[in-house]
Structure 1
Amino acid sequence: MIKKFVRTGLAVALPMALAACSAIDFGQDRIQYETSDSRAPLEIPPDLSSVPGSDRYTVPSRPQTVWASQQAQADASASNGTPANMVLLPQGEVAKIVREGNDRWIHVNMTPEMVWPIMQDFWTTVGLSLSRQDATTGVMETNWAENRAKLPQDIIRATLGRVVDLVYSTGERDQYRARVERTADGGCDIFVTHRAMVEVVKSMGGDNETTVWQPGPSDPEMEAEMLTRLAHRINQEFNPNSTKPSAAEHEAEVEKLATYQPENSISQLEQNAEGVATSIFIKEDFERAWRRLALAVDRMGFTVEDRDRSRGFFLVRYLDQEYEDQKRSEQGFWSNVFGKDTPVEAPQYVIYLQRLSDTECRVHVLGPDGKADTTGVAPRILTLLSEQTK
């Protein structure tokens, strides 16, 4: 049936393509997300699934007035306190993109309560929808979506791809997480991270094959793209007279942000005599180490249920594949047969950043009570975090 439908689509669409070739726009936009339910759903491996959080979709309180004198003071404080290796890219009067090494984020001279609704609306403007948002933790996460801009931009794609959409697929899905944190100057910082899933062919023996989804690398260019667009969106909201950058200026800005800057490794995975990971040593001050660790937590896709920068901890949920398999085996044969669709509850963990000195910190993974982890998963979490914080 599908093959017959494709042949019919070819017969109908090809003449349309030939007739309309002179009117086709071959614009090279970097993003064109597909959120339609017409495609097969993306089945995420259990250890990468977002654990449903509580229904704390709190509506932020009404915006507070920010006096011009307060904003000027915040601007002056930010400019005077900028480290030598931190670059502020001019983005307007309200939102500025900050880069420190290979970490980048948006600093906004407005409170999180004022910025949150703009962040909520932003994702629809780029073709994405939100799967989770929690104002109490300042985190919002998009649904997995396909970036159709990665498909070949030829005449067949420009016509037939829109008629018979099932014929085309990139084999990739993207997800974004945005996190907002209040800053000491009365404003906030916004961090955007990207996660990817890639469809790969898996042999089932003989000529039988199937496809499975596996984690792919995060894309710095897509993170830079979303940061830039969000910064411009915030500026236009609070400063309608701000000048919109041209396509060339936007492209140059994204390329500059996405360019990798070589830097010395500042984190080291610490292990005991048996080679089991026990902690991560980070040779940075607490603020930079927190920022680096928070970005790693975002890219790992942990469900953050609570966080406290002043005390240096994240309370997260994470379902490890080996842990899930172990729990299922403990349920017994009949429980697995009749309750195989019953999910294993994801345990809670505390990711704790310990301040050792003005230039050194250490990361621990503990149980929800702040004591040693009893699930045996802490060493694997530390290993994964170590790879993201190098």
Structure 2
Amino acid sequence: MLRLLTFRFLVVLLILTTSACGIVRNRANDYLKADKGKVLVVPEWYEKDKIRSRYPIPDVVNQAVATDELVVPAPPDSTALIVSEHFTIEEMDGQRWLLVTDTPARAWPMIDKFLASKGLATGHSDVESGLIQSSVFQAGKLSTEYARQLDLLADDPADNAGTYHVLLFHLNQGVKRNSSEIQVRVAVAADPSPGFSAWQQEGGDRLAENKVLEDLKLFFEVNRDDKTFSLLAQDIGGPSRVTLVSEGEQSVYLKFELDYARAWGVLGRALRDAGIEVVDRDRSNGEVDIKYYGEDEESFWSKLLSSGPKDLPPNYRLKLKQSGGFVRLDVTGLATDVLDSDNKVKLLSLLLENVS
């Protein structure tokens, strides 16, 4: 009985499947037999502007066509923001600091954690000035071992009586946006609970300070995945300390919110990283003569002088000077009295991309 029912079911299913085309009529071509409707007539009372095109194409008045070949300018080099190392120790004019490619608000709590890893606490802090001072190195504590590594303690314990040391950190916004600079000073105190030590521009114990910077760099590298953020320190960060300022077509310059010595060093490093050849430097007058030729200019001068690019004369002079509360970098041409504004902007933009 079961086999008979199964057989009948399969027969019915086969019939329905094969005859589906005959049961359901194909209506694909019915539109060809449809009756035409009446022409749409717009009433006179209907406002004409309401039935206009939603996205009208305006009439072109200017029929002129550019004859020169148009070249789309290349976008800024985004890879200039990508560095091979996120934490580097840099030195310039006797000053050393740890450069961190992160905001000061990220770096601030890391300094607190570094002190804790060495058995120290935060004694004083001033977010507005970017200063953090540790507690003193205490005898018999973990900090004592670190003090010996820094060679701050004498071999005879009696010689250490009445002498205390603290670490002072200065956190500042880096030259570029979203970067931080950390300097270290080792200060001597006569009290186990000292007040806030004044920041000294010149280092004291250079060996100990360099050792702390190296240890701090290693601490940042080991804890690079730590994303602790300080709301109090978020005001330390800000825009880049080097910006491109435009005051009309002819007045375009780089603005350095740095002291003159630091600005001179930043300029030299930017020229090197940008691959621009420097012909002459005069630090006392703030002048740098460089070669910066476009492909067309380089080809023209090479043919004219029958020489290679290395034999071309310098064509730009960079002038660095103090201007009020900042340092200003201007560009002038050596070959002509009037410098093309487009080339000036290109050169200054290239230097801006390579500042660090």
TM-score for both structures, normalised by structure 2: 0.31
TM-score for both structures, normalised by structure 1: 0.29
User: Looking at CA atoms only, which structure, 1 or 2, has the larger radius of gyration?
Assistant: 2
- Greater RCO (Cα-Cα under 8 Å, separation 6 or more): 1
